[in-house]
Amino acid sequence: MPKDRPKRDSKNKKVQALESVREQSGDQYLTTNQGLRINDDQNSLKAGPRGPSLLEDFILREKITHFDHERIPERVVHARGSAAHGYFQVYKSLASLTRAKFLQDPAVKTPVFVRFSTVAGSRGSTDLARDVRGFAVKFYTDEGNYDLVGNNMPVFFIQDAVKFPDLVHAVKPEPQHEMPQAASAHDTFWDFISLMPESMHMVMWLMSDRAIPRSFRMMEGFGVHTFRFVNAQGVGRFVKFHWKPLLGVHSILWDEAQKISGLDPDFHRRDLWEAIETGNFPEWELGVQVVEERDEHKFEFDLLDPTKIIPEELVPVVRIGKMTLDRNPDNFFSETEQVAFHPGHLVPGIDFSNDPLLQGRLFSYTDTQLIRLGGPNFHEIPINRPVAPLHNNQRDGHMRQTINAGQASYHPNTLGGGCPMQAQADMGGFLSYAEKLTGSKVRERSKSFFDHFSQAALFWRSQSASEQAHLVQALRFELGKVDVSAIRERMVALLAQVDKKLAARVAEGLGLHVTSITGPLNLSIPADDDPRQFQPKRATASVEKSAALSMVLAPKKGIQTRKVAILAADGVDGQAVVSMKTALAAVGAMAKIVAPRSGVLKTADGTDMKIDFSLLTTGSVLFDALYIPGGEESVWTLLRTPKASMFTHEAYLHCKPIAATGAGVNVLQSAMSLLGLHKSMDKSGDVPSDEGIVVARQASAKQVAARFIKAMEPHRHWAREIELASPE
C-alpha cells in the first residue's frame, strides 16, 4: 500500500494544477444563471431513486425553461443566413461628398458585421435555392451604427412598400399545404407576378444565373435604393451603393444546385466559414454612383424607382473603399441570428431619398425586430451595440440591460444638469436633408414610374448567349411547375413585352402556341385592377447593352480559393499529384484528393497520401475544376468505378475546366464517349475544338499546370454547352 501513495500524490498534484488553471480561467464550475454552483448536473431531484421528479428542483426548471425559449421567431424573410466580422477602410477622404466620418480617413478601420441570406426559405432550407440573396452590412462607426441593407440584385419586385406583404405571401409556401419550401416555382408567386408588370425587370435578374451564386464571396451586393450623400456644407447628392467582390462574380448551374442541395445544403455557409478559417479572407470594394441634384430628372427612368438601375455606362461606379471579412462568429445564435439590421440606422452625411419602397421599409424593420427580439431593447444585444456611447432618456422595457442612474429621464431638464444635451451639426448632430417638397396628399404613383419593360429588355440584351439560354431554362422550369394555364399564358404575354424571341423560346418549352403571344397584352383581369394602366408607353433607352449586367463578360483574373478535385485511386502517379497541388497552391487554389474510398492512398512509388473526400460523400458539383493524374492501376480502378465516371461526366457537362495527364486521359475519354463525343486526343494533348480541356499523355503535371490554371480563370467554358446541344 505505501508504494501506491506517491502515484496518488502525483495525481493529486495534476488535479490541483488543472483546478488552478480552471480557477484562473474563471469558468471552472457549472452554475445556475444566478451564479450558484451546481453539485449534480446528471440527475434531477426526485422523491427516491425511482420516484417522481420534484417541482422544487429549481436547477432543472431553470435549465429546461431556458432551453424551451432558446429559439426565437425566425425572420419572415431572410431567415436562413450566414455572417462574419470584418472591417472597412475608405481609399481617400470623401469630405467633398459626405460628412460621414467613416468615409473620411483611410487610416481608420471601421468594424463591420455582414450577414448574407436567402430570402424566401425558412432557416432549415437549402443554401442553393433559386432566390435573391441578402447582403446586409452593419458599420460600427464612431458616430453610431450605420446599416447598409441590400441584396445581390440591384432592383426589386415592387415600387411601393404597400405591396410588400402581398409579394411575400405570394412567394412563400402556399398556405393550404405549406409547399413548396424555398422555391418560387409555384402558382401563387407567378399569379402575383403575372399581374404586376413592374416586377419584370426583377424577374429577369431572378431567373438569371445571379440567383444561384457560386459563393457569397463571389457575388455582388447592392443598396437597391437611391440614397443621399450630404456634405458639411449641406449640399446633397443622390447615391447608389455597390459591393464588388475581388474574386469576381461566378454562379452555378441549376442542375448543380439541385445536386448540391442533396450533398451539402450548407454549401454557401460552409464555403464562407472555411474561407475565413483558412485565412482566405473575402474582400469587396464599395462603389458608388453619384448623381448631382440638378441631374435628377435627366434620365429616361426615375431615380426613386426601385425597379430601375442606373446603367454604369451613364454613371460609372467609383470604388471608394474595401471591406474585408476576417473573423467568423463565436456563436451563431448570439450574433448571426440576433443581429438586427435597419435601413433607418444612419450616420450624419447619409440620408434617404423619397423612394416609396424605402420609406415603407423604415417602418417595417423596427416593427419586426420588436416581435422577433422581444421588445424595444434589441439594441442592447451585444452584436447590435454601437461602439459610440449611448446617452438618451429611454428606459425600462423587456430585457433592459442598462442600469440608468439619476433622477431625470426627460428633456429638457435642470435636475440632470440639462443632460443628455442636443448636439449641433458641428458637434456631430444628425441633420435631415433640407429638401423642398410641394404637392397634395394623394394615393397615386408618379407617371415616371410607369415604364416596366425597357430595363428588363436591357438586361436580356446584355446577357451572353449562354446566360440567355440559362434564363430561358429557368423560366421553363419555374412556369412548368405552375398548374393554372392562364397564369403561364399571362407570363408569356409579359415576356413578349420584354423580347418576343425570349417569349417564343419560353412558350416552346411550355407547349404554348407562339401565336398566343404576338397580339396585344391581354392579362384577363378586372379593369379596376388592370396593371396596364401603369404602362402607357415604353421609354426610349439611352443604353442598348450594358456589359456590367453580364456575369460571363465580367473581368476574370486569378483562381484564388478555387477548389480543384484530384480524382485518384491506389497506384496513382504520386509525383504528378504533388506537382499539380504545388502549382495550384502557388496561385491560391485548393486541391483535394477524391478517391473511391476514405483513408490513405498508396501511390505507384509506395508513398502514402491522405484522401480528402470519398466518392461516396462528395460530387464534382462541389468543386470548380477537375484533374485526373496518371498511374495505370489508379486509372484501371477509376474506369471500373461508376461514381468516378459520373464525377468526370458531370464535370464535363457543367463546363468546368478539366486536366488529365498520362493514363488519366483514358478516364476523360471514357466519360466523353458516354456523351457521344469522340475527340482525338493525341500525344500533344491539344483539343482545339473545346476550350477548358487540358490533356497530355506524355507531358508532366508541371508542364500542364500553367495551361490548366489559365483554363480555370473564366471559371466555366460555356461553348461546351453548344457542342453538347448539337454534337457532330
What cell does 449 get? 414610374
CA angle 658, 662, 667 (to 5 degrees): 55
How many Å apart are CA 560 and CA 584, to the nearest integer?
A: 9
**Which residues lie closer than 8 Å to 9 by C-beta, 6 or more apart?**
none
Q: What is the DSSP letter of 333?
A: I
Q: What is the DSSP letter of 497?
A: H
Helix and strand numbers (H, E) in the chain are 18, 18
Q: Prior bond to 343 cis, omega within 30? A: no
> Which of the residues 145, 151, 152, 666 is marked catalytic?
151
What cell does 138 get? 452593419
Q: Is 145 designated active site?
A: no
What cell does 659 get? 486536366
639, 283 contact by CB (below 8 A): no
> Which of the residues 12, 33, 69, 78 is marked catalytic?
78
101, 139 contact by CB (below 8 A): no
Count the Cβ atoms, other than its own, within 10 Å of residue 18.
11
Place of cell 425559449: 69
**Maximum alpha-carbon separation in the chain:** 104
Phi (first) and psi of residue 567, to 5 degrees: -85, 120
Q: What is the DSSP letter of 697?
A: S
How many Å apart are CA 382 and CA 386, to the nearest integer?
A: 9
210, 552 contact by CB (below 8 A): no
Q: How distant, in Å, are the alpha carbons of 333, 383, 721 from that of 330?
A: 9, 11, 43
How many Å apart are CA 149 and CA 130, to the nearest integer?
A: 20
**Which of 381, 380, 383 lies closest to 392 in space, CA to CA?**
380
Q: Is 39 designated active site?
A: no
Count the Cβ atoms, other than its own, within 10 Å of residue 625.
27
Place of cell 447590435: 384
Catalytic residue numbers read: 78, 151
